[in-house]
Chains A and B, each alone.
Chain A
């Protein structure tokens, strides 16, 4: 079974600064997907960024980028130029690519607060 660990329950960052959220995972699979989802107070789960394990290049989406270290089973999220709207709970998640096992395994979450 897969496990996902987020060791930072809460973090804060000043507006316009950069912050990095940590995530480690454990799996015996060689191919898989990793995701970062954000959940604002509205409860809606929003995809921030995805990474396929077979890709060596780190994924980027505008102000969001990841540092994917497959051997170390580490998948951190960097948010640059933090904005007040980035305040949310952030979940790291793992998915096997198998068509019959597409459910997500989530980490415990990191509450990020962007301070004005």
Chain B
């Protein structure tokens, strides 16, 4: 299994400000994934963060709005920039591990962001 510590667990922010979400994994991983879960919706991939290279963003998400850092193999941050109420969502980080051909995605506890 993998333990991912994600923080903050929740925050209420003013529009126009930025929030940085942190994820710490208990062991080294090549890729970390960031997902957004809008209220009552499913999870949508924002970007894939690789250590030592720029993150790969999915369609509809841009680096200026969601800058990502990946300084080492156990840590990543996602910043939600210039926030608006539409950014109110749960944000989750995730890693994938394979052990004896058993593959599983592990998730952080999620950050519930409310923009007012």
Contacts and interface: CB of A to CB of B under 8 A. Distances in A.
Interface stretch (A22-30, A64-72, A77-85, A98-106): A98-106
A52 interface: yes
A103 B45 contact: yes
B43 A103 contact: no
A95 B103 contact: yes
Contact of A44 (B44, B96, B110, B112): B110
A73 B92 CA distance: 28
B41 A104 contact: no
A75 interface: no
B6 to A, nearest CB: 10
A47 B104 contact: yes
A31 B75 CA distance: 30
A52 B45 CA distance: 22
B109 to A, nearest CB: 6
Interface in B69-116: 90, 92, 94, 96, 101-105, 107, 109-110, 112
B43 A91 contact: yes
**Interface residues of B: mostly helix, strand, loop or mixed?**
strand
Interface residues on B, range: 20 to 34
Given A103-B33, A103-B48, A106-B42, A43 B105 contact: no
Interface in A25-57: 33, 35, 37, 42-45, 47, 50, 52
Interface of B: 31, 33, 41-45, 48, 90, 92, 94, 96, 101-105, 107, 109-110, 112
Which 10 pairs between the two chains have the least Cβ-Cβ distance? Answer: A45-B107, A43-B110, A102-B96, A106-B42, A106-B43, A108-B42, A103-B45, A109-B42, A103-B33, A47-B104
Given A45-B43, A102-B31, A102-B103, 18 more contacts: A33-B103, A43-B109, A44-B110, A45-B92, A45-B105, A45-B110, A50-B104, A91-B42, A93-B105, A95-B96, A102-B33, A102-B96, A103-B48, A104-B33, A106-B42, A106-B43, A106-B44, A108-B42
